[in-house]
């Protein structure tokens, strides 16, 4: 007889609660002008709650992983910025066409996602601000890094990445790129936590809520 699967206790009762706590943590680290950018879809609710706690600007930033057959995730793109690739990825001879197609596929996904989350509206300006890229749980660094590089290129005077939960490997990757990193719960397990938030684990419902939150911010 197979033993029932046990779900570990959540680290935070709700995503909104986690966002509010993250906002209070950020308030001790950064001074205005501050803009929080929730990465779609998993960082939107967290960033919205954190921005309320901070009484600062909020918007959503759209990114997409770059995936290659048999290799999985090898990087990411955010908005219309440059691709950020895993430095451990070493494309073999003859792979460049497949890599370029994977990057273009990610860019097409961003265009679709952007219409859902922001409509025709452009991302608010981060020039001259401290831009904080926010996600929920980060187990792969590439989307937040692509978003951070995009904000750096757009004139943010300082760029940080923040999340309620991440892994030690992610922390090392982000700090290796010289970005500030704020995370109250850093886990050693590279797979992260199976149930970091007490909300129901329904990706479709989370996505719909995130779209509503993003549109309300417009």
Tokens matching residue 47: 């960033």
Q: For the chain, which residues make up each domain, given as ranges?
A: 15-132+143-216
pLDDT in tens, 52-98: 999 999 999 999 999 999 899 999 999 999 999 999 998 888 899 99
CA angle 116/158/127 to nearest 5° reads: 60
Question: Tens-digit pLDDT profile for the chain (218 aa)?
Answer: 454 556 679 999 999 999 999 999 999 999 999 999 999 999 999 999 999 999 999 999 999 999 999 899 999 999 999 999 999 998 888 899 999 999 999 999 999 999 999 999 999 999 999 999 999 999 999 999 999 999 999 999 999 999 999 999 999 999 999 999 999 999 999 999 999 999 988 889 999 999 999 988 75
DSSP label at 139? Answer: S
Whole-Å CA distances, 121 to 59, 109, 116, 125: 11, 17, 11, 12
Q: What is the DSSP string of 145-200?
A: HHHHHHHHHTT-SEEEEE-SEEEHHHHHHHHHTT-EEE-SEEESSTT--S--BSS-
CATH of 15-132+143-216, one of 3.40.1260.10, 3.40.50.2020, 3.40.50.2300, 3.40.47.10: 3.40.50.2020
3-state secondary structure 40-109: CCCCHHHHHHHHHHHCCEEEEECEEEEEECCCEEEEEEECCCCCEECCCCCCCCCCHHHHHHHHHHHHHH
pTM of the model: 0.93
Q: How far apart are CA 72 and CA 52, in angstroms?
A: 36
């Amino acid at each position: 007889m197979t033993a029932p699967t046990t779900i570990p206790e959540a680290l935070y009762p709700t995503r909104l609660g986690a966002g509010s706590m993250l906002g209070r943590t950020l308030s001790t680290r950064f001074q205005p002008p501050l803009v929080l950018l929730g990465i779609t879809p998993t960082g939107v609710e967290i960033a919205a709650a954190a921005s309320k706690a901070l009484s600062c600007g909020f918007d959503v930033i759209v990114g997409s992983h770059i995936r290659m057959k048999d290799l999985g995730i090898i990087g990411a793109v955010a908005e219309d910025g440059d691709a950020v690739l895993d430095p451990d990825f070493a494309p073999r001879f003859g792979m460049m066409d497949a890599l370029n197609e994977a990057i273009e596929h990610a860019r097409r996904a961003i265009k679709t996602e952007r219409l859902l989350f922001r409509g025709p509206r452009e991302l608010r300006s981060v020039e001259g601000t401290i831009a904080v890229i926010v996600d929920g749980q980060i187990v792969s660094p590439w989307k937040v890094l692509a978003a951070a590089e995009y904000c750096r290129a757009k004139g943010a005077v300082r760029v940080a990445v923040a999340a309620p939960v991440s892994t030690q490997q992610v922390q090392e990757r982000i700090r290796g790129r010289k970005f500030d990193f704020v995370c109250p719960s850093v886990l050693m397990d590279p797979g992260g936590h199976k149930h970091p938030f007490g909300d129901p684990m329904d990706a479709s419902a989370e996505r719909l809520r995130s779209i509503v939150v993003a549109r309300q911010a417009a």
